[in-house]
Amino acid sequence: MNNQYEVFTEVTPFYSDMLETLIQAEHKISMMYFTYDCGIWTKKMNEIMYKKIDQGVDVRIMVDLLGIFTDNPKNIFNNIVHLTEMNNKGIQVDFFQPSKGSNMSPADRLHFKLCAIDENVAYFGGSNIGDHYTTWQDTNLRVQGEIGEIGHQLYEYVLGHSLGSHDVPEIDLDDLMIGDAKVLLTVPGARKDISEHWLDLIKTSENKVYFRNWYFLPNKEFMKAMLEKLDNGLNIEVLLSHRTKVRVIDVANHSQCRKLVKVGANIHRYQKRYMHSKVTWNAKNDVLFGSANLEEKALKGNFELCLRFKDKRVAEELTKSYENDVRDSVHQTTKVVEQRGFPKRMASSILSMATPLL
Amino acid, single-letter form, for residue 70: T
Is 293 a member of any domain? no
Torsion (CA) 306, 307, 310, 315 in degrees, nearest 10: -50
**Do 75 and 138 belong together in one domain?**
yes
Is 215 a member of any domain? yes
What DSSP state is assigned to residue 327? G
**Do 36 and 97 belong together in one domain?**
yes
Residue 141 predicted with pLDDT over 60: yes
pTM of the shown model: 0.96
pLDDT score, position 354 = 64
**Do 133 and 207 belong together in one domain?**
no
C-beta of residue 166 within 8 angstroms of C-beta of residue 99? no
pLDDT score, position 339 = 84
**Do 252 and 137 belong together in one domain?**
no
**Do 103 and 202 belong together in one domain?**
no
**Do 199 and 278 belong together in one domain?**
yes
Distances, alpha carbon 347 to alpha carbons 228, 239, 249, 285, 311, in Å: 26, 22, 11, 37, 41
Confidence of residue 101 (pLDDT cuts 50, 70, 90): low
**Do 175 and 231 belong together in one domain?**
no
Confidence of residue 10 (pLDDT cuts 50, 70, 90): very high
**Do 113 and 30 belong together in one domain?**
yes
E-strand stretches of the chain = 4-10, 28-33, 58-64, 92-96, 114-117, 121-125, 137-144, 177-178, 181-187, 191-192, 208-213, 235-241, 266-270, 278-282, 286-290, 304-310, 329-331
Q: Domain tally for the chain?
A: 2
- Can you count the helices (H) and strands (E) in the chain? 12, 17
Residue among 140, 180, 166 at smallest CA distance from 278: 140
**Do 206 and 346 belong together in one domain?**
yes
**Do 163 and 222 belong together in one domain?**
no
Is 188 a member of any domain? no
Reported as a single tens digit per residue, the pLDDT across 199-224 is 999 999 999 999 999 999 999 999 99
Domain boundary among 145, 179, 213: 179
Region 143-159: mean pLDDT is: 94
pLDDT score, position 104 = 83
Domain that holds residue 97: 4-179
Domain boundary among 147, 179, 211: 179
Confidence of residue 338 (pLDDT cuts 50, 70, 90): confident
Region 246-268: mean pLDDT is: 94
Confidence of residue 164 (pLDDT cuts 50, 70, 90): confident
- The mean pLDDT value of the chain amounts to 94
Which ranges constitute the DSSP H helices of 110-243?
Answer: 150-159, 193-203, 220-231
Q: What percentage of the chain exceeds 90 in pLDDT?
A: 86
Is 297 a member of any domain? no
CATH assignment at residue 345: 3.30.870.10
**Do 277 and 351 belong together in one domain?**
yes
